[in-house]
Amino acid sequence: MSGPDPAGRSKWIDRPGVRAFLGRVLIGNYLRFLRLTSKVVADPPDFWESAHKDWPAIAVSWHGQSNLAYVVMPDPKQVALLVSMHPDGQMMAAMARSLGYQTVDGSGASERQKHGTGGLSAFRNMLKALKAGTTLFATADIPPEPGRNVSLGMIALARKSGRPVYAIATASSRRKVLERVWDKMQLNYPFSTIGFACEGPFYMTDAGVGDAEYANMLREALDRVLAKAFDLADGKIKPR
């Protein structure tokens, strides 16, 4: 997070009101336009209907592909998103709320970012949300670590809550992937085919299975569904 400049003034772009405007008005409306001009191809096609029997659940995706998922979920009011307390995260929180989602502030700690994440409070609030019947959506990897490594916090949440985990991914046919960015962020363009893929449910409550083993299993699932989402968007495969 950027600190104040030598004159004691914070950057105008980091002001809460500016971030809220950018998230709610610019990003939120852009995602709505993208959804209105695009078609969704899902595998499995009946995922949302069949997944409801397992709700509340924990849905996770890789960080760089998370934004597009917000506009393919059929009922945002039933879902809460975990959002970072960083100014960028709060901008995305404003976007998410404009689309009808609930939000939980906080993110996991990493070796480079151990303080000020609100992780413990977020963990408790996510447990409360799940107990209240609200499904959670979060990114599995934590900035600024190298991307596509599953946070053990997600495994702890699945263990503690007993709720199933779904690995999901979305991709648009008209896109640009920023390969040099830590999370390989995906920029999605309107008038696309949106590929949506998922695997699950995964229950992570077996005391005989270690957290690292569960994290590796989820990482492999997330890589598979992301590859499938790209193939669906590009028309290389058809839904089952």
Q: Is the pLDDT at 218 greater than 50, yes or no?
A: yes
pTM of the model: 0.86
Q: φ, ψ for residue 59 (rounded to 5)?
A: -100, 135
pLDDT value for 213: 97
| The pLDDT value given to residue 178 | 93
Phi, psi at 117, each rounded to 5°: -90, -20
Hey, which of 1-5, 68-72, 81-85, 114-118 has the most confident mean pLDDT?
Answer: 68-72
Has residue 49 got a pLDDT over 60?
yes
pLDDT at 9 over 70: no
Distance (Å, rounded) from C-alpha 9 to C-alpha 27?
26
More confident residue, 229 or 67: 229
CB-based contact 204:140 (threshold 8 Å): no
Given this model, what pLDDT does residue 13 score? 66
Q: How far apart are CA 194 and CA 68, in angstroms?
A: 8
pLDDT above 70 (res 114): no
Helices and strands, counts by H and E, the chain = 8, 9
Lowest mean pLDDT among 102-111, 121-130, 138-147, 174-183: 102-111
